[in-house]
Chains A and B, each alone.
Chain A
Amino acid sequence: MSSRRSLDGPDPTPPRRARRRQPGPDHVLQADVLVAGGGPAGTWAAIAAARSGAAVVLVDKGRCGTSGATAAAGTGVWYVEPDPVARERAMASREALGGYLADRRWMARVLDETYARVGDLAEPPRYPFPVDETGRQRRTGLQGPDYMRRQRIRVQRLGVRILDHSPLLELLVDGDGAVVGGRGVDRRSGEEYEVRAGAVVLATGGCAFQSKTLGCDVDTGDGALLAVEVGAQLSGMEFSNAYAIAPSFTSVTKTAYYSFGTFYRSDGSVLEGARSQGGRSVIARALLQEPVLCRLDKADEATQRAIRLDQPNFLLPFDRQGINPFTDLFPITLVLEGTVRGTGGVRVLDDDCSAGVPGLYVAGDTATRELICGGFTGGGSHNAAWAISSGSWAGRAAAVHGVRHAPAGRPPGRPAGAAGLRPGGSSGLDARAVVAAVQAEVMPYEKNYLRHGSRLTPALAALDAVWAEVRGHLRGDGADRFRAREAAAMAGHARWMYTAALARTESRGMHKRLDHPAADPRQHHRLTVSGLDAIHVQPENDRPSARSVAPDAAGQVTDAVA
């Protein structure tokens, strides 16, 4: 495989949507560390790796600084002063909600790392932290647009090469199965790039199934698929049914503010038991029958002013539709947030966020957040802290490994991607049809939220059929190759979710089974999921039990890692 054009100099602007059909990439780059994803976790990983002396390339499906769940929103941060009483309270606060699957040691080290790194944000290009009435900076929240704009600047100042609009399509592995880089495509030119790297950090976010929840269209679970293809495991995939409240037909989700709301039936009567926390399933049940209305009538004038400043885009959909949410009734909906807010993701094998495959590290929503949240979303603040901490650890470790295994003089790796890239049979399956078929199984409240074995089983069977079709016939062309890959990633994600959801025959954390409403002490363990066509699910540190999918008749199904 040879490089036809070096990227060391300035690139000529390629013609848009140009397509090349020659085998091999159009551009080859070398780096110590390849970071996939330019959201919080990816930028923290790139910063840590660059500060550790590594040459870093960061690639983003969208654009580093505006991509993903954080850039478009505001988030709390699990930032707690190093005071033993405050730290103890912070760690204890959500253990029960998470079904006691979190780990105190991980919580403590995330609190330490987050405290230090958020402190870094006060340095140039200084994040404009608010100052409270005592004159102290309040560092427990970050405005996404301001935060991520500065993260991009920090990454650039460290000399990291950023490839925007350039989704990673697959990993490269060497003869021993170690990860040695990745391949992707420039959405604008259709040209393929290859980054040969000593280590890879996957920080591509979770999977929200393109539900239109704010900023998450790029979050299609790509990292999980890439990781599983090279042999990594997933954990906590049953904790994947987070739904957020939004005004109907809009994108802005900020469930916390709905604590100020009262929920009503369409006849104007109060919907009893409906709450933003601890009563959201009541809303889901009601929405299956009729519209649900809301009014933020518990917010006094001072609170209303604070909300407007705390997250400026929260009020945009209201202001633009002529609704005063504090005095008017407005219809709401619940939007799937999947594993963006759910805690499932790639299993973390070590303190350095290694994914258990040499050269592969995971961070942010791509990595399981069970270690600090257990089976319940910790809200935005835990997610932000996890992105900062896991990104920093993964970046540092990847730098050490990547410098030691730098690609110069080594043979290029073998591409490991299969589903959606290299179908077994004739292509012709439409990626949009695959996405719609997956969405039909994961979005409905009666399937994913109000879980019952009698509905999960046929949903999984339908998803298995989709997967077999994907393996047999899905492939995109040119710049749209990443659309096929996204569809494959979502199909895989859905199957891993429901396989774990069926295996956990109890209710724990956010995973509530109507047919198993109580927690079962014998299932007080995490569930590990792995495999592509045959999915294995087992209690962590236990022997696997397999279920498998018959490949599509026309498709020769072969696992990427034999």
Chain B
Amino acid sequence: MIEVVVADRCIGCDVCIDVCPTDVFERGPGGVPVIQRQGSCQTCYLCEAYCPTDALFVAAPVEPLEPGAPQTDPAHLIATGLLGSYRAALGWGNGRTPTARHALMPPLPTS
């Protein structure tokens, strides 16, 4: 589920508010989006993929993390390289090559 909006990375572009297919975000104070309806999050990771400044983090569980869990802390997410890791894996962003260019389904085992 969506867990973190890193306010000091956010440029207030509203892209996450627009692209979220389940309408999780609202525009908050100063233009920084807030996670208004976390329970609606379907853990599709697409807000993260579209965020141009890697300011969002979606944790793997489909239920909210415990308050104070490490992955709710931006410093932890930056230190571990998790913040922005999906966008990088997709090859989205300036200077990157879309990973789709290299997406070749591996042959599945026959037995």
Point out residues on A near B: beta carbons under 8 Å. Answer: 16, 60-63, 65-68, 71-72, 74, 76, 127-132, 138, 140-143, 145-146, 164-165, 187-188, 212, 214-218, 247, 249-251, 256, 259-260, 298-299, 302-303, 306-313, 315-317, 319-321
Contacts and interface: CB of A to CB of B under 8 A. Distances in A.
Contacts of A315: 89
A143 B104 CA distance: 10
Among A63, A251, A259: residue with most chain B CB under 10 A = A251
Given A62-B22, A141-B105, A251-B43, 17 more contacts: A66-B50, A72-B45, A74-B103, A129-B100, A132-B104, A142-B100, A145-B46, A145-B90, A165-B23, A214-B43, A214-B44, A217-B40, A247-B60, A256-B105, A299-B106, A313-B89, A320-B82
Contacts of A187: 23
A324 B60 CA distance: 14
Interface residues of B, number: 38
A212 to B, nearest CB: 5
B62 A320 contact: no
A72 B48 CA distance: 11
Contact of A319 (B20, B22, B85, B106): B85
Contacts of A320: 59-60, 71, 82
Interface string B75-111: 0000000100110011010000011111111101100
A212 B43 contact: yes
A504 to B, nearest CB: 30
A218 B40 CA distance: 10
11 contacts: A63-B18, A130-B101, A146-B90, A165-B23, A188-B23, A214-B42, A215-B21, A215-B42, A250-B43, A259-B108, A320-B71
B20 A63 contact: yes
Given A212-B42, A214-B44, A250-B61, A143 B100 contact: yes
A310 B86 contact: no
B49 interface: yes
Contacts of B90: 143, 145-146, 312
B19 interface: yes
Interface string B21-36: 1110010000000000
Given A218-B22, A313-B86, A321-B60, A302 B46 contact: no
Contacts of B60: 247, 249-250, 316-317, 320-321
A66 B103 contact: no
Contacts of A164: 18
Contacts of B20: 62-63, 66
Among A76, A143, A312: residue with most chain B CB under 10 A = A312
B58 to A, nearest CB: 8
Given A249-B62, A317-B60, A146 B100 contact: yes
A215 B104 CA distance: 22
Contact of A216 (B19, B42, B100, B101): B42
B45 to A, nearest CB: 6
Among B46, B59, B98: residue with most chain A CB under 10 A = B46
B104 A138 contact: yes
Interface of B: 18-23, 26, 40, 42-46, 49-50, 59-63, 71, 82, 85-86, 89-90, 92, 98-106, 108-109
A309 B44 contact: no
A259 B106 CA distance: 11
Nearest to A147: B100
Contacts, number: 137
Given A138-B104, A310-B106, A63 B86 contact: no
B102 to A, nearest CB: 4
A39 B9 CA distance: 31
A298 B99 CA distance: 24
B103 A311 contact: yes
B28 to A, nearest CB: 12
A256 B100 contact: no
Contact of B44 (A72, A129, A259, A302): A72
Given A62-B22, A63-B18, A218-B21, A309 B102 contact: yes
A68 B84 CA distance: 23
Given A72-B45, A141-B105, A215-B44, A250 B62 contact: yes
B46 A72 contact: yes
Given A72-B45, A212-B42, A308 B89 contact: yes
A128 B91 CA distance: 11
Contacts of A128: 98, 100-101
B61 A298 contact: no
A519 B62 CA distance: 38
Please list the 7 inter-chain residue pairs (A to B) with the smallest Cβ-Cβ separation, ordered nearest first: A62-B21, A312-B89, A317-B60, A306-B106, A72-B44, A217-B42, A251-B43
B46 to A, nearest CB: 5
Nearest to A323: B60
A549 B49 CA distance: 46
A145 B49 contact: yes
Given A143-B100, A215-B44, A312-B90, A66 B105 contact: no
Nearest to A306: B106
A208 to B, nearest CB: 10
Among B23, B40, B100, B104: residue with most chain A CB under 10 A = B100
Nearest to B41: A217
Contacts of A249: 60-63
B101 A310 contact: no
Among A260, A299, A319, A321: residue with most chain B CB under 10 A = A319
Nearest to A164: B18
A130 B49 contact: no
B19 A66 contact: yes
Contact of A130 (B23, B42, B45, B103): B103
